[in-house]
Structure 1
Amino acid sequence: MKPYSFNIMSQQEAEEIALTWQYDAPYDFYNMEEDEEDLAAFLDEKERGEFVFSVRDEEELIGFLMIEQKGDTLDIGLGMRPDLTGQRKGVTFLKAAMSFLRKTYEPKQLTLSVATFNKRAIKLYKRMGFRTSHIYMQETNGSTYEFMSMVFDCYKSE
């Protein structure tokens, strides 16, 4: 199996993701148009810069990966194409993303935030070695939601 490829996201890819990827409830929370500021930032090529990647399996766009470097830590955000979710493909997707990040940036830690209702993602992150850091409230999508911050120590395991 050929590994997934990670490339700086093109404008066409950003538009495809933002304007056509629609998740079923309760994951529709992650639809780009749910938060106008996030949507505008995702569609702005300068805002994305070199920190938002498209993820492809061969030629097929299957997901995205966003990073924010904070010293030796990379804060990540990721999404998989809606029709591929809930099919146990998350392990392969997340493993590939983590491998890419570790080889490219050599961080000491990876961090991410996930809405606490998203039990499916939390289960995956824990399975992959992330641990809960803290719970916090975040304003987004026109309301306030509970999020979990999670941490992965890169030096502990491969």
Structure 2
Amino acid sequence: MKTRIQLMTQDSAVAIADTWNYEGIYSFYDAAADEEDYQELIDPAQRKSNYYEVLKNNELFGYLVIIPKDTNIVELGLGLRPDLTGRGLGQAFIEEALQFLMTSFPIVTHVELSVAAFNKRAFKVYQAVGFSEGEHFLQATNGGSYDFIKMSKKIK
């Protein structure tokens, strides 16, 4: 499958925000689960140039959020289309995201991300591609406070 990663279009942002609904405990990741997250996703001014769409064979496959933290550190957020989760695609998806970071942001040497502690599936994928577990912290989101794990990886 041919993969293309580019700045997110408004059509993709609205599709993700309004139609991507995850099943079971993963509904936590629905954009509509948190009003601030939803607004950031659908508003181009809030999205800035931090959101990227991942297309495979010209179909929306996933998205990346890349937020500079320091000169050579970025925070990475990502989402895979709901019907593609749980099918063993996560490792290749994160590897493509890391490759995109290395080629598009050559100054970046470290990547950080946060994963909800209940999301054992994602945690295993991040470990499999070399992310190290860091601090646990509480994050206010989705109308509550949830345990998250900070993870990091050196990419250069």
Same-fold call, TM cutoff 0.5 = yes
Name the TM-score, length of structure 1 as normaliser. Answer: 0.95
Root-mean-square deviation (Å): 0.8
Q: Does 1:81 align with 2:81?
A: yes
Q: Secondary structure at the match of 1:121?
A: helix
Please list every run of 5 or more consecutive structure 1 residues that lacks an aligned counterpart in the other structure: none
Q: Does 1:90 align with 2:90?
A: yes
In the alignment, the residues of structure 2 paired with residue 65 and residue 5 of structure 1 have an alpha-carbon distance, to the nearest angstrom, of 12
Deviation at 1:52, TM superposition (A): 0.3
Partner of 2:135: 134
Give runs of aligned pairs for residues 51-70 of structure 1, distance below 5 A. 51-70=50-69
Q: Does 1:112 align with 2:113?
A: yes
In the alignment, the residues of structure 2 paired with residue 47 and residue 40 of structure 1 have an alpha-carbon distance, to the nearest angstrom, of 8
Deviation at 1:33, TM superposition (A): 0.5
* Deviations 1:30-70 (CA, angstroms, capped at 9, x unpaired): 00110001101111001111110000001110100001111
Deviation at 1:20, TM superposition (A): 0.2
Stretches of 4+ aligned residues off by more than 2 angstroms: none
Q: Secondary structure at the match of 1:26?
A: helix
* Deviations 1:3-49 (CA, angstroms, capped at 9, x unpaired): x2111111110000000000001100000110001101111001111
* Deviations 1:135-155 (CA, angstroms, capped at 9, x unpaired): 000110000000000000112
Partner of 1:23: 22
Alignment coverage as a number of residue pairs: 154
Partner of 1:8: 7
In the alignment, the residues of structure 2 paired with residue 124 and residue 91 of structure 1 have an alpha-carbon distance, to the nearest angstrom, of 6
Deviation at 1:120, TM superposition (A): 0.1
- Counterpart code for 2:117: T
Q: Secondary structure at the match of 2:54?
A: strand
